[in-house]
Amino acid sequence: MEFISEDLLQYCQDHTTEEDDLLQRISRDTHAKVLMPRMLSGHLQGKTLELFTKMQRPKTILEIGTYTGYSAICMARGLDKDGKIITIDKNDELEEMVREYFAASGLDDQIQYILGNAMELIPGLNETFDMVFIDADKRNYSNYYHMIIDKVNPGGLILADNVLWSGKVVDDHQGKADKSTQAILDFNKMVQEDDRVENVLFPIRDGIMMARKR
């Protein structure tokens, strides 16, 4: 489901700094060769992530859910020279493609790509973060939040994608939402009630929750 008309979306894209050749290639290849290409962040969200990163100036970013690397490259482009992004994905079938894109970005020395289950890997990360992008399995969104909140530095940002879940968050479920929808509803409620953060839900693409740790 699109929340704004195709014409308005096109107008927004036409007034957003252009996607360069590499991001266009990743988007094209993903749509041609990879399952569920709708998962890719794309032009508007990618530029939003890049600009959020430039404003936040994080030393370390954690991304949960690399997929084909589009959003990781956007955030890496926003980093200062001494910043780094750790990005985790469990899908090793995309590894070759993703490593090639990271190399082509010229930023692979700032991108640490880890393959494996984020639920198992995150507790072992001996780092603190200035920015976290949660964009993996929806059912674990609240678990990821609980796992990372103590690793986020004061003033750090937690971003979570797809928090409008194609609009299903406002459907009348009559107490029987499907598991992914319920997980998103629980996540949004939990963030809204968490006094450790101040937050805003942006209606960008499928919805991005931004929570800033106090």
Ligand X SMILES: C[S@@+](CC[C@H](N)C(=O)[O-])C[C@H]1O[C@@H](n2cnc3c(N)ncnc32)[C@H](O)[C@@H]1O
Residue 116 or 155 with smaller CB distance to ligand X: 116
What's the closest the beta carbon of residue 162 comes to ligand X, in angstroms? 7
Instruction: Considering only the stretches 17-25, 34-42, 53-61, 173-181, report the one whose residues sit in contact with ligand X under the rule CB under 6 A.
Output: 34-42
Residue 88 or 132 with smaller CB distance to ligand X: 88
Instruction: Considering only the stretches 88-96, 97-105, 147-155, 199-207, report the one whose residues sit in contact with ligand X under the rule CB under 6 A.
Output: 88-96
Q: How many angstroms separate the CA atoms of 191 and 140, rounded?
A: 14
Residue 40 or 174 with smaller CB distance to ligand X: 40
Which residue of 27, 48, 56, 71 would you call a contact of ligand X, by CB under 6 A? 71
What's the closest the beta carbon of residue 153 comes to ligand X, in angstroms? 22
Q: Tell me how far CA of residue 142 lies from CA of 33, 112, 148, 184, in angstroms.
A: 31, 24, 10, 8
Does 41 participate in binding ligand X (rule CB under 6 A)?
yes
Does 119 participate in binding ligand X (rule CB under 6 A)?
yes
Does 39 participate in binding ligand X (rule CB under 6 A)?
yes
What's the closest the beta carbon of residue 174 comes to ligand X, in angstroms? 28
Q: How many angstroms separate the CA atoms of 202 and 161, rounded?
A: 10
Question: What residues line the site for ligand X (CB under 6 A)?
Answer: 39-41, 65, 67, 70-71, 88-91, 117-119, 135-137
